[in-house]
């Protein structure tokens, strides 16, 4: 018999209501707060409805693993907003070591796949974001243009804490600031970004066979990126096509 305590559902109805410039979620008459007891005021009705749906879907025992949007908005309030500059700076550093800039010298087939998948994104970053990044072969660091990196950092600084929370996973999971910004700006969807980040992995799998544990880990990373993409969509007030339960 396990002695682990698990929170149980204590409310009957889950509702949202406008409050000031945002939306508040209520469990019965109790306003939902973050785990640290901070007020939770969501910026769009669409996001509030999606978070409320996660709470309404809980049964007798609350299952946090089925509430990815709730975890994300809690993180935005408790972690990202209070240290916005630090989070933006950490993400900006990915531009200096961006995955898309480090290419295989051989085999030619892998190098060609990387070029076909990654060059258009670097061209997009140069044209749309004003940031041309340099490409190298191997793993020896290549110095990037200071101005290009500053322009990428400015893109992050212009985001809201909610957006930066979503972009965090879209950058750190694939290891590419360019891929994360491409999803943010609608140049790619999260599934395509995940696939582009896995060109090397898929090449190795084709050579040596698939590994069930590695595939499961990759699937979990994809799911996290899809949640981040869903958060961005809900922040824009768009329709919620997600069902991450």
Indicate the SS3 state at residue 41: strand
Question: Which parts of 12-128 are beta strand (E)?
Answer: 14-19, 22-27, 30-31, 41-42, 102-103
C-alpha span between 135 and 58 (Å, rounded): 48
Q: How much is the pLDDT for 240?
A: 67
- Comparing CA positions, the residue from 187, 176, 173, 183 lying closest to residue 221 is 173
Q: Which residues of the chain have pLDDT under 70?
A: 1-5, 238-245
pLDDT of residue 2: 42
CATH topology assigned to domain 83-235? ATP12-like fold (1.10.3580)
On whether the CB atoms of residues 74 and 34 are closer than 8 A, the answer is yes
Render pLDDT for 88-136 as a digit per residue (tens, 0 to 9).
999 999 999 999 999 999 999 999 999 999 999 999 999 999 999 999 9
Please, which residues have CB within 8 angstroms of residue 231's CB and are 6 or more apart in sequence?
47, 69, 72, 162, 165, 166
**Cα 6 to Cα 13: distance, rounded to the nearest angstrom:** 20
- Strands 22-27 and 14-19 turn out to be antiparallel
pLDDT at residue number 179: 98
Alpha-carbon span 190 to 182, nearest angstrom: 9
Here the tokens at position 109 are 């087939």
User: What residue ranges do the domains of the chain occupy?
Assistant: 83-235
């Amino acid at each position: 018999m396990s002695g682990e305590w698990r929170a149980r559902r204590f409310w009957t109805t889950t509702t949202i209501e406008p409050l000031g410039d945002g939306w508040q979620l209520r469990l019965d008459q109790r306003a939902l707060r973050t785990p640290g007891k901070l007020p939770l005021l969501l910026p769009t009705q669409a996001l509030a409805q999606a978070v409320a749906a996660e709470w309404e879907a809980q049964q007798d025992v609350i299952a946090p693993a089925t509430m990815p949007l709730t975890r994300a908005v809690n993180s935005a309030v408790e972690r990202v907003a209070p240290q916005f500059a630090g989070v933006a700076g950490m993400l900006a550093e990915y531009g200096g070591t961006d995955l898309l800039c480090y290419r295989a010298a051989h085999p030619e087939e892998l190098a060609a796949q990387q070029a076909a998948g990654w060059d258009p994104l670097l061209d997009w970053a140069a044209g749309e974001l004003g940031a041309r990044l340099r490409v190298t072969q191997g793993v020896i660091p290549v110095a990037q243009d200071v101005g290009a990196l500053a322009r990428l950092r400015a893109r992050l600084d212009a985001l809201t804490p909610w957006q930066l929370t979503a972009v965090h996973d879209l950058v750190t999971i694939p290891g590419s600031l360019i891929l994360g910004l491409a999803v943010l700006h609608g140049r790619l969807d999260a599934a395509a970004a995940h696939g582009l980040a896995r060109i090397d992995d898929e090449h190795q799998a084709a050579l040596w066979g698939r590994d069930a544990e590695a595939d499961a880990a990759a699937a979990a990373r994809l799911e996290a990126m899809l949640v981040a993409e869903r958060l961005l969509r809900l922040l824009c007030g768009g329709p919620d096509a997600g069902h991450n339960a």
